[in-house]
Structure 1
């Protein structure tokens, strides 16, 4: 589904590359975790794949489409759930979702049905006509997610989709994503919650300093490290225990 070849990104004011000569292949219908310390290059890589920024060098394709030749088609193919809330606080949940759905060409009864179905699935139908500014963090996360999947994308990018949410919201979000994946959506996921990644992802890649360190199925990576009891142990053995403060 995603083919990345020698992709690099260096921002104009930066001394070092955020992503450096990275090769990666992500199969169709995978739940693929991009893991790494702060500043490792995860968000930059996702921004590149979503065509939000241009690579300094290298290339990538998604379902055979490239940014250079198929920019508009590629954007229709993907959904993006950013780490920050991308919602209008003074609009209702339904108004927000109607707006984002219309940006993908959805309208009328079809759009209304999709919105109501997703709201019900994520336990938010009773709050459809409430302003977003009154919502809890977990509720906003779920609306953020719905906004990204109304057009039924083939590939869904998630940047820290469960950060700062309550346990119940986290559980509902993960189950919703697993259901999407079973229906054929390839999921690319970043998170610092390594226990969550271990159980949620079918495959993970650990990157650091913009480079690919290792990739594989979580249980295989754990079994390959004698002292590792979980994915966090593998992560720390590869990236170290030093603080990674990043600004």
Structure 2
């Protein structure tokens, strides 16, 4: 048995310890680089996405769908103009005189050759100019409004257009044979109803001309066309 000095044994133990520590360091620790070889995974890569294009908004997509289905671009409320309202039409100057624009009266009798002749006058009481043309309508009525006798007949004549400025008048002749001469049956009217040409509404004028023929021979009452003025 070989004797080894104590100091030698102590040195050998120290050398061994250092050797073991060196091996542990060579195997790596948590702070060292990973020395494992790279791992390869098989498969197909997904296609790359182009991020340079702007995303399409929901509104744009909806409008595109509406255009594709209808063939027309979507409408917009912006820029829409409400339809203009026209002013109501008013009576034009020079148009026909209406009943509400006139005043009626009966002038004084101008008898002659067994005839009674009364001018029936229509006066423009409005603020505008209007016209009359043709024959007025007329009817005698009693106090209860019942007509006395037939409607007057129209005498032959050539109608003319009479232009009436405010305050101006036109007249038509109301003529009948004197009942005392003709022997016709008579009545005394309470009023004469006068209807302007082409109108439906009438004007009521108190009658103060006495008896008028209502039936029998020579009982006809006649009217002439309207002329400018208030009488012959």
Identify, as 1 or 2, the structure richer in helix. 1
Identify, as 1 or 2, the structure richer in strand. 2
Taking structure 2 as the reference length, what is the TM-score of the superposition?
0.20
Taking structure 1 as the reference length, what is the TM-score of the superposition?
0.19
